[in-house]
Amino acid sequence: MLLAAAIAVVGGVLLPVQTVINTRLSRAVSSTFLASFVSFLVGTVVLAVVVLATRPSLPPLGDLGGQPWWLWTGGLCGVVFLTLNMVLMRALGASVTVVLPIVGQVLGGVVIDTLGLFEVERQPLTLARGAGLVVVLVGAFVVNYARPAPGAAPPVPAGRKRLLIVLGIGAGVLSATQTTVNGRLGVVLGSAVAAALVSFLVGLAALLVIVLVSRPPVGRATAAAAVRPWYLVVGGALGATFVLASTYAAPVLGISVTVSIVLLGQLASGLSVDRWGVLHAPRRHVGLRKVVGVLLVLAGVLCVRLLG
């Protein structure tokens, strides 16, 4: 159990680092969608290698014909989530980029469970779950409206910041949808890793279409920028590693505990990226108010996941 918990924490820590890498890649190649495409391509290759190495027993293709259409949409949700994270990272920093989607994940998860969407078993909206959701919202407010430090970069205009907040929460709702859909797909396929690979393939195909339509400048200079420094192309591998870490930890610790531990890693990593400028990310002030807000978000998540 300690090993599984450690792996879950590491998986959570990797997500903000992945966003930092993908954001730098998007600047290097001057295209957010092209950076997303590279990330999905690398992640797809990693997951394909794992699937080929483990050789899970998959059902015949004919048995998948009667499945609901939404079973294959997890990758599309992942595309939007990944791309919006890069936009948020540039404007608001790592810790806020972590917190806003968590709010959406909790909100989306509560709605999905309460209404029984995507064939999940309905769960009533208990007092603990409702209280936890309120605490998450309060924590997110504290994080987003923490006072800037003297000499900090000019704040984002209020109107744009409100739009980014809505987009960040929406990205989290899509993440909760992706998790639910991929979980169901994993049951149908009999393999969580195979379901993750299918999700990545769908996202990769969607991004290929977007890149071909938008026609970002791709040439030798762009390719050289993408691999200088070399770690700019490993964001997708970190995303695939997160999927594998969650796949390993969930059966050992349970879904609720795994999600809580992963979020702990995400929040700690987001604060660290802002505080120390990990991988040359812009440093942002991490004061007591922001730390308290992050702890409130974590407390709310624990209340929803473990007490609800």
Q: How far apart are alpha carbons 43 and 149 in whole angstroms?
A: 37
pLDDT 10s digits, 143-183:
887 666 555 556 778 888 899 999 999 999 999 999 889 88
Q: Are 188 and 118 in contact (CB under 8 A)?
A: no
pLDDT at 233 > cutoff 60: yes
Confidence at residue 102, expressed as pLDDT on a 0 to 100 scale: 93
pLDDT at 44 > cutoff 80: yes
pLDDT at 52 > cutoff 90: yes
Confidence at residue 221, expressed as pLDDT on a 0 to 100 scale: 66
Task: Using alpha carbons only, give the angle 92, 93, 94 rounded to the nearest 5 degrees.
Answer: 135
Amino acid of residue 65:
G
Of the two residues 230 and 176, the one the predictor is more confident about is: 176
Confidence at residue 145, expressed as pLDDT on a 0 to 100 scale: 79
Confidence at residue 41, expressed as pLDDT on a 0 to 100 scale: 95
Residues 6+ away with beta carbon under 8 Å from 37: 204, 207, 208, 210, 211
Q: Are 258 and 246 in contact (CB under 8 A)?
A: yes
- Give 48's pLDDT tier (boundaries 50, 70, 90): very high
pLDDT 10s digits, 240-264:
998 888 878 877 887 778 888 888 9
Confidence at residue 28, expressed as pLDDT on a 0 to 100 scale: 87
Amino acid of residue 113:
D
Of the two residues 221 and 302, the one the predictor is more confident about is: 302
Q: Which of 179, 105, 131 is nearest to 296 (CA)?
A: 131
pLDDT at 70 > cutoff 90: yes
Q: State pTM to two decimals.
A: 0.88
Confidence at residue 66, expressed as pLDDT on a 0 to 100 scale: 81
DSSP string, 2-33: HHHHHHHHHHHHHHHHHHHHHHHHHHHHT-HH
Listed by start position, the domains of the chain span 2-54+68-307
Confidence at residue 149, expressed as pLDDT on a 0 to 100 scale: 56
Residues 6+ away with beta carbon under 8 Å from 277: 283
